[in-house]
Each structure stands twice: as C-alpha cells, then as structure tokens.
C-alpha cells in the first residue's frame, strides 16, 4: 500500500519518461510519427506475402487474421526484448538518486502500450476496409484484454529489466526467446492447427489466450470465451505478481552493480 | 520508532564485494561459474544513531570512512547487509545535482523533468516554478537549451530545483560548493530557512565551518564506526587533534621523502586591544589586534597569509595579505602565531568577521578557515555606509 502511494507520488516522473521516450524515438527520423503506423503495416506485408502466397494457410482474409494478432504481439515482444534495458539505460539516475525503481519498467511498458494503442488506429482502419465489420458487444471486451496484456507485459519487463542488471548479455538472448515465443503462439496460424497432445501446453503460454481473445473480438467479431479470458487473467496476474516481487527483491542491489 | 525522532539507524552494517575479475554476463557465469572470486570489505561495521525532528546532523570523516555510504543508505540507493534504518516523512536527497537534465531541452523544461525525479507532481512543480526560476537568477536564459549554459548556471538551476522540493528530511552531500560566493551564501541562507521551518537535515561535508554553522549535532565516522558524537564544537576539536596526530605519524614514516610538503592547521584566533585584553565590541577609531595560532605539521614554507574582513551579511570589506604588504614569511614547524594590528579601525556599526586563507607559492590553497574571529562595532553617531572617512565641513 505504501509502495503504491509512493508510486503515485512519482507519477509525474513516469509521464515525463513516457513523453521523452515517445518524442525521442521518432524525432530524428524523416517520417517521424508515421513509423508508428508504418512498422506494423510493413511487417503485415511480409507475413501476408509469405503465408498467403508462398505457404498458403487457406484462411479467409488472412491479412486481417494475422494483423489483429500481430499488433498486440509486437507490443509484447518489444517489452520482452527491449524492456530488458529499461533499468540499465538509466543507470546514472539509479546510481545517484533515489526514486522508486519500478518507475523505470512501468514507464517503458506504458510507452510501448501507447504505441500499440496508436497502432490500433491502423487496425481499426484495416478491419473497416476489409468489410468484416465490428461487433460492438465484443468490442467492449477489448479494453479488458488490453489491460490483461499490459499487466502480463509489465510483469515480464519487471523480470527482464531486473535480471539484465545482473546479467548484462541477457538482451540478445531475449531477442531469440521472443522470436521462438512468437512461433509457439498462434499468431500466424490458428490454435486448431496445434496437435491435440500439445494443446494444453500451449494454453500455459499467456499469450495464447490473449491472442485468441484479440482475434475473437476483432476478426471473428464474437465475445471471447470465458474460459479463455479466465486463463489469460490468471496467468497474466500471476506473472505480474511474480515479476513485481522479484523486482522488489533484486532492486536492492541495483546501485551496487553499476 | 520513538516519537519525536525523524531518523533511526540501528546497528547498520554494509559490505562491498571487490571482485578480482568482475563479470556480469551470462556467458561468463556459465563458463566460469566457479571463478567469481571476491573479497568482502566492510565499509560500515555497525553504526547506530538517532536524529530528532527538526535537528540538523553533520557527518564528518576522512575520505572512504563511510559517511557518503551512510547517506546513500538513508536515501535508499544502497541497502545495508544487516541492521535497520527508519525514516519518517518525505525524504529528499541532494546527492547529485541535475540528475536527468537533458542538454537539448530548455531550462524551463528541465525544471519539470528534474523536479519530477524528486517525486513532485505537475501541479506542485507549476506552483514552484516561479520560485525556482527566481532563486536561480536565470530569468533571461530560462527558455534557452541547457547545453548553452555555463557550468555555474547549470549548477545554479539544479540547486534551485533541489532546494525548492519541500521535504520532511533533507539529505545533502557536499553540494554547498555551488557557484560563486554570493550564490553559496544564498544557498546557505535558504538552508537555514529550511531548517527553521522544521525540516530535519543530514549533511555530509568536509567543511567543519559549514557544519558548525548549521548543525546541532555532529557524528564523526572513522573506519566504519562512530568515533565521536556530540556538538559540532566538541567533535571538531577531537577530529582535528586526530587528523594532526595522524599526519605527524605519516610524516615520521616518510622521513626520506624529500618532496613531502608540510601542512598547516588552524588552531585558534583571538581579538584583543593593544594591551592584550580580549575584546568583542569596538568603537570607531579603536585599535584592533588579531592573533592567529597555527600549527605546521612538518616544515611549512613558501606560503602567504591572507586575512579577509567580511561584514556579517556577506559584504566583503577589506582583504590584506603578506604578499600585498611584501612581508617575508619564514619557514616554521610546530606552533606559531601571527599577529596583525589595525591601528585605526574605522568600520561603522555592524557585525564583522575575519576569514583566514593560507596560500602556497603556486597559488594553491593550503588552508581556508571561515569566521576565525567575530566582532561588533558600536557607535552612537549615525553615519551610513561601511567605513568612517575622516572629514570636515568647511563653512563659508
């Protein structure tokens, strides 16, 4: 409780870090903020070419099927690999001044999340252009699933950023993990394609339920299955709590490692 | 925690690991997982102290004694290996000025960023913005990028932000050496105001003078333990004695070292009239005699003694040195006193003090002591200004 109050006191620091991050990311590039939309669109082109022309998946409007899962995935995988350096990049601050260290993973995750929300403008545009239509009732579940994904990603950033202080070469390793993780999550294929005996294992991956929920809402236009949602909530919250505790323990040694 | 206490430190110990070949990569841990040899060194070996609300505590000690580590633990940058630290209320620490400053942003934008690092909300920062800018005296430059600032301006801005963060407990590490003398005085006065408003202060400094002026209590840390605790005056005497004996010991060991330059320590100063009676209040035209007792560790030579007279509000009145008067300073060892006589002291009413400054021939400060002696001038007449100028009116 005391921690939460302190974090609230430092909210302005979180916001100013988020602002700085968003500003600096696109400031020096010619296209500026357009990259925020271009990046997912270009990735979409690549995957669409590969999976609907070369390796045909026989899924109606495959680009949409893929896109509604890809945007949330990019958010998560950036958190996983990029979030590793959330604390390390601010080591001068950590070494010299006190503030609740959670501010760093939190602001990193928020700025990635804002990025995803902006990308969702493109997602909605693509959904409307495709003519699939939007189910308003299903759409009400979108904020919920976003919140779950945010908590899960935050938990992962807590873990990755704290461990990276102790193991500096964790980041490249996590990039590989992110790549492998993507193919173990039903993003370019439907979950039905997974062999029966592995399905249970697949559901241990929080991103499986989260991806399925996004796809239910935006592609199939239906309310996500309660079991899927529950699975996502439980796993997401567990990872979040584990991450928070781990971070709280490891942060005590941060200043000694720099 | 006892009521009335702001800080309680109980038997705190901290050790650092000195790795022979520190590696913090996954690769090295996997390949050489047995070879991470290190030596532990205890920086603090169990210290306990309490600070009451509104009290100011000074921490002194030689370099590496653990005083800055203590401060870092109070502010929660470092955590002790054992022991307990409790603080009550909002803590603000001025360990590092200008943390998070961004060179490309304007001074104003940086105030927002820097103040947010101290845990201020946007509204709180806005309320303080005018005060901060006024205190920094950078009104004209506040919208220029910080990279165009001189280092003095940079520090002034940083200090202004830090000092305007309201806190119940303020932790300060050697930062009062900011900017020019006038700004330093301003910072110091602000610090006194903060103290008067009931803020608890812990300050680490090498300047005994600063500590004596601001602190109610002083702790001397030596080799990771509290060596002495008491009023700044008591602790200062013991600390200086110790430093002196340590230097003599060191000198004794290095006899063959020809380059060893002697060092000088200030012992005391006294103000008297011509007959040698102590005197604290003078009238215009009185004689004033300032006697300085110094102690040289080893042979001390090639130096100049400078005495500066300052009015209590910081106005510099007069400075004189052995070099301006072309007085030869002889080498000496051990105790020695110097006396300077002002035969006609023509200052107007007010409080004044002397600063002592000893410089070697390269112009490097060998010793600086602020406020070695203080006195007051009284007079019934009502002239204005600083000095009495001999004059007469000519009637037509």
Distance from CA of A93 to the nearest CA of B (A): 6
Mean pLDDT of A169-192: 91
Name which of A143, A164, A19, A10 is nearest A79 in CA terms. A164
Set of chain B residues whose Cβ sits within 8 Å of the Cβ of A20:
102, 113
Distance from CA of B296 to the nearest CA of A (A): 38
Residues 35-74 of B with CB under 8 A from A: 72
DSSP B290-342: EEEEEEEEEEE-SEEEEEEEEETTS-EEEEEETTTTTPPPPPEEEEEEEEEEE
| Weakest mean pLDDT among A234-238, B152-156, B209-213, B228-232 | B209-213
Q: So what's the pLDDT on residue A112?
A: 94
Tell me the sheet residues that pair with B9: B49, B85
> DSSP H helical segments within chain B, as ranges?
26-31, 67-74, 107-117, 122-136, 151-163, 181-196, 208-214, 232-253
DSSP B332-366: EEEEEEEEEEEEEE-B-SEEEEEEEEEEETTS-EE
For chain A, what percentages of helix, strand and coil (3-state, to nearest 5) are there?
A: 80, 0, 20
Question: Between chains, do A96 and B77 touch, taking CB under 8 Å as contact?
Answer: yes
Residues B326/B395, Cβ–Cβ less than 8 Å: no
Set of chain A residues whose Cβ sits within 8 Å of the Cβ of B78:
255-256
pLDDT per residue over A132-150, tens digit each?
Answer: 778 888 899 999 999 999 9
Q: So what's the pLDDT on residue B248?
A: 63
Mean pLDDT of A91-99: 86
Name which of B124, B87, B84 is nearest B5 in CA terms. B87
What is the 8-class DSSP label of residue A58?
A: -
Question: Between chains, do B119 and A16 touch, taking CB under 8 Å as contact?
Answer: no
Q: Under DSSP, is residue B372 helix (H, G, I), strand (E, B) or coil?
A: strand
Q: What sign for the dihedral angle of Cα B271, B274, B278, B283?
A: negative
Return the higher-pLDDT residue of B204 and A57.
B204
Token representation of residue B194: 């903060």
Does the beta carbon of B158 lie under 8 angstroms from any beta carbon of chain A? no
How high is the mean pLDDT of chain A?
89
Residues A236/A206, Cβ–Cβ less than 8 Å: yes
Return the higher-pLDDT residue of B395 and B174.
B395
pLDDT of B258 > 70? The answer is: no
pLDDT of A232 > 90? The answer is: yes
pLDDT of A126 > 50? The answer is: yes
Range of A39-53, B34-48, B201-215, B220-234 with top mean pLDDT:
B220-234
Across the beta sheet with B286-300, what order do the strands follow? B263-272, B286-300, B332-345
Domains of chain B in start order, with CATH, are 1-90+205-251 (3.40.50.300), 265-378 (2.70.50.60)
* Chain A residues touching chain B at CB-CB below 8 Å: 6, 9-13, 15-16, 20, 92-99, 166-170, 173, 252-253, 255-257
Preferred mutation among B79, B116, B172 to probe A, highest tally of A CBs within 10 A: B116
Question: Between chains, do B26 and A255 touch, taking CB under 8 Å as contact?
Answer: no
Mean pLDDT of B369-391: 83
Mean pLDDT of A57-81: 89
Distance from CA of B262 to the nearest CA of A (A): 36
C-alpha B282: how far from chain center: 30
Nearest chain A alpha carbon to B91:
A98
Preferred mutation among A2, A92, A98 to probe B, highest tally of B CBs within 10 A: A98
Q: pLDDT band at A177, cuts 50/70/90?
A: very high
Set of chain A residues whose Cβ sits within 8 Å of the Cβ of B102:
20
Question: Between chains, do B121 and A12 touch, taking CB under 8 Å as contact?
Answer: yes
In whole angstroms, give the CA distance from residue B144 to residue B99: 19
Set of chain B residues whose Cβ sits within 8 Å of the Cβ of A97:
75, 77, 93, 95-96, 99-100, 117
Q: Under DSSP, is residue B48 helix (H, G, I), strand (E, B) or coil?
A: strand
Rg (CA), chain B: 25
Q: pLDDT band at A156, cuts 50/70/90?
A: very high
Distances (CA, A) of B171 to A2, B92, B187, B191, B226: 21, 6, 15, 11, 19
pLDDT per residue over B81-106, tens digit each?
Answer: 999 999 988 888 777 777 778 888 88
pLDDT per residue over B164-184, tens digit each?
Answer: 887 889 888 876 655 566 777
Nearest chain B alpha carbon to A18:
B113
Q: So what's the pLDDT on residue B259?
A: 38
Q: What sign for the dihedral angle of Cα A67, A49, A75, A151?
A: positive
Nearest chain A alpha carbon to B17:
A256
Set of chain B residues whose Cβ sits within 8 Å of the Cβ of A89:
none
Set of chain A residues whose Cβ sits within 8 Å of the Cβ of B76:
98
Token representation of residue A130: 């495709």
């Amino acid at each position: 409780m005391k921690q939460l109050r302190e974090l609230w006191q430092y909210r302005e620091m979180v916001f100013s870090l988020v602002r700085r991050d968003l500003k600096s990311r696109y400031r020096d590039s010619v296209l500026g903020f357009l990259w925020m939309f271009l990046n997912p669109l270009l990735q979409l082109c690549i995957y669409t070419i590969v999976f609907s022309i070369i390796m045909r998946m026989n899924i109606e409007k495959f680009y949409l099927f893929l896109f509604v899962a890809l945007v949330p995935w990019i958010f998560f995988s950036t958190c996983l690999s990029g979030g590793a350096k959330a604390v390390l990049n601010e080591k001068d601050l950590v070494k010299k001044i006190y503030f609740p260290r959670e501010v760093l993973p939190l602001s990193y995750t928020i700025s990635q999340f804002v990025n995803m929300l902006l990308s969702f403008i493109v997602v909605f545009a693509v959904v409307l252009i495709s003519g699939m239509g939007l189910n308003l009732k299903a759409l009400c579940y979108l904020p919920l699933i976003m919140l779950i994904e945010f908590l899960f990603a935050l938990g992962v950033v807590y873990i990755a950023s704290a461990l990276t202080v102790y193991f500096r070469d964790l980041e490249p390793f996590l990039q590989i993990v992110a790549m492998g993780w993507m193919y173990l999550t039903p993003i370019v294929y439907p979950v039905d394609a997974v062999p029966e005996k592995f399905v249970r294992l697949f559901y241990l991956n929080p991103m499986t339920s989260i991806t399925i929920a996004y796809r239910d809402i935006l592609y199939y236009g239906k309310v996500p299955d309660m079991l899927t949602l529950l699975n996502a909530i439980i796993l997401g919250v567990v990872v979040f709590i584990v991450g928070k505790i781990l971070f709280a323990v490891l942060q005590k040694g941060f200043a000694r490692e720099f | 925690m006892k009521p009335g206490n702001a800080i309680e430190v109980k038997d705190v110990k901290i050790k650092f690991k000195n790795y022979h070949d520190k590696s913090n990569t996954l690769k090295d841990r996997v390949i050489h997982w047995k070879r991470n040899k290190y030596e532990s060194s205890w920086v603090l070996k169990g210290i306990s102290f309490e600070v009451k609300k509104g009290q100011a505590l000074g921490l002194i000690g030689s370099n590496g004694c653990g005083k800055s580590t203590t401060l870092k633990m109070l502010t929660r940058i470092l955590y002790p290996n054992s022991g307990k630290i409790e603080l009550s209320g909002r803590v603000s620490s001025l360990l590092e000025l200008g943390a998070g400053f961004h060179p490309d942003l304007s001074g104003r934008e940086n105030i927002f960023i820097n103040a947010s690092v101290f845990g201020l909300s946007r509204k709180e920062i806005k309320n303080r913005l005018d005060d901060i800018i006024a205190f920094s005296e950078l009104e004209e430059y506040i919208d220029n990028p910080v990279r165009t600032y001189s280092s003095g301006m940079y520090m002034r801005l940083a200090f202004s932000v830090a000092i305007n963060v309201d806190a119940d407990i303020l932790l300060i590490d050697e930062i009062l050496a900011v900017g020019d003398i006038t700004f330093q005085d301003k910072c110091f006065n602000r610090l006194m105001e903060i103290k008067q408003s009931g803020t608890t202060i812990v300050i680490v400094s090498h300047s005994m003078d600063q500590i004596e002026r601001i602190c109610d209590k002083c702790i001397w840390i030596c080799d990771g333990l509290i060596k002495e605790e008491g009023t700044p005056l008591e602790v200062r005497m013991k600390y200086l004695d110790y430093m002196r004996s340590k230097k003599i010991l060191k000198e004794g060991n290095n006899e063959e070292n020809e380059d060893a330059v002697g060092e000088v320590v200030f012992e005391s100063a006294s103000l008297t009239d011509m007959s040698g009676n102590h005197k604290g209040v003078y009238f215009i035209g009185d004689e004033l005699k300032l006697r300085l007792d110094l102690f040289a560790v080893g042979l001390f030579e090639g130096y100049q003694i400078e005495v500066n007279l300052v009015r209590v509000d910081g106005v510099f009145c007069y400075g004189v040195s052995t070099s301006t008067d072309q007085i030869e300073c002889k080498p000496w060892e051990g105790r020695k006193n110097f006396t300077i006589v002002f035969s006609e002291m023509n200052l107007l009413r007010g409080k004044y003090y002397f600063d002592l400054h000893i410089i070697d021939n390269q112009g490097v400060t060998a010793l600086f002591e602020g406020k070695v002696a203080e006195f007051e001038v009284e007079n019934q007449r009502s002239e204005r200004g600083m000095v009495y100028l001999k004059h007469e009116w000519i009637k037509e």
